[in-house]
Amino acid sequence: MLKSLKSIKWLCLSLLCWSFMAHAYDDKVCYPTAGTPAVLDYNLTKSLTKAQNTANNNMISDIDLGGTTQYTCECDDANAQMVHYFSASSPLPTVMIGNSKYFAITKNLWARVQIYIDSPSPNNYYEVPFTGIANQWTEPCSRTGNDAAARKARVSLYVVHPMISGAEYHGTIARVWHYRKPGYINEADPVETVVNFDINLTVPDKCTLLPGSVLNVDLGSLRPHQFKGKAYSEVPDSYTPKNFNLKFSCTISNATLNVDLIGNEDAHNQGFATNKPNISVIIKDKDGNIIPPDGRAGSVTIDANKNSSTLVLNAYPTTDGVIPSLGEFSTTATILMSYQ
């Protein structure tokens, strides 16, 4: 009798697991039969010339994976005649240049991605994000077939501001879904195509921290009681924020240099998250304004000798009102520069 009960329990678990993985018919979703999406890789390692490293410069490339993707569609009415629809999104926020959609892969470099969809339109490339682009094929809804859509893309890289040192991005820039349902996207559905970027750009314009500027800021030692009764962003008791100055030597002269601090934001979107729960690092400018992660720290001028003026900042730790436990904490802020 005990063996029988165990057997029934195992069978029920298997059925539950299968029903969890199965897809709802009303989604009318199509997915790669192989179980994994097609991958469009955009690889660019390039040294830009000074002429290319200028504001409003566009660099356009095409990606063509070629061939077709074998897909399977699931529908409640297998024989219903329907066209194919494609939708796409990006994990990055959309920014606009005129009527064109771009993604900010860094503050100084934006990307536009267009996916090829075989449709009656005279222009078969569609800007990501989009929802419900139809092709011209009407077929029974539930079927397995091969599709050339979403296996080609067009990429435009746009230089927003002239870069210092360069830019890089490694990761997914777009995903494409395939449906038999118009005007629909569900990012939990199986993905048909993924577009990945592997970008490494270098430029001739460079700046380095001058001797005497601070790259590593030691915030010193604190005791947990110094945070008692302190609200978020307040300075701990008996603590003086640590001043640090940034000054650069550059290969350019007579210019204005924008300095941004890039890092991981905390839950309040103002401080830099650390490796210790409930502790953040607040960075302020000389006027007492908080500089959030990915925010503008300020600007410095580059003189005729290619040296910059000094950017004065200060930093201190803060908590969410929770007294932290003992232990070291640290965070990283990356300096991102561009010039006007």
Q: Which CATH architecture has domain 207-339?
A: Sandwich (2.60)
Q: Confidence class of residue 270 from pLDDT cuts 50, 70 and 90? A: very high
Cβ neighbour number for residue 219 with a 10 Å cutoff: 16
Alpha carbons 123 and 247: distance in angstroms, whole number? 50
Contact 235, 288 (CB under 8 A): no
Alpha carbons 297 and 249: distance in angstroms, whole number? 18
Q: Confidence class of residue 109 from pLDDT cuts 50, 70 and 90? A: very high
What pLDDT was estimated at residue 23?
Answer: 56
What pLDDT was estimated at residue 91?
Answer: 95
**Residue 128 to residues 83, 85, 195: CA-CA distances in angstroms?**
20, 14, 11
Contacts 24+ apart (CB under 8 A), 129-133: 129/88, 129/89, 129/90, 129/94, 129/101, 130/86, 130/87, 130/88, 131/87, 131/183, 131/184, 131/185, 132/85, 132/86, 132/87, 132/179, 132/182, 132/183, 132/184, 132/185, 133/85, 133/86, 133/87
Query: DSSP letters along 225-289, please?
Result: GGGTTPPTTPPPTT--PEEEEE-EEES--SEEEEEEEE--B-TTSSSEE-SSTTEEEEEEETTS-
Q: What residue spans define the domains of the chain?
A: 23-202, 207-339
> What fold characterizes domain 23-202?
Immunoglobulin-like (2.60.40)
Residue 234 scores a pLDDT above 50: yes
Q: What is the pLDDT of residues 279-331, one digit of tens each?
A: 999 999 999 999 999 999 999 999 999 999 999 999 999 998 788 877 788 88
Q: What is the pLDDT of residues 60-85, one digit of tens each?
A: 888 888 888 999 998 888 889 999 99
Percent of the chain with pLDDT over 90: 64
Q: Are 23-202 and 207-339 in the same CATH fold? A: yes
In this prediction the pTM is 0.79
Q: What is the pLDDT of residues 144-191, one digit of tens each?
A: 888 888 999 999 999 999 999 999 999 999 999 999 999 999 999 999
Q: What is the pLDDT of residues 331-340, one digit of tens each?
A: 888 899 998 7
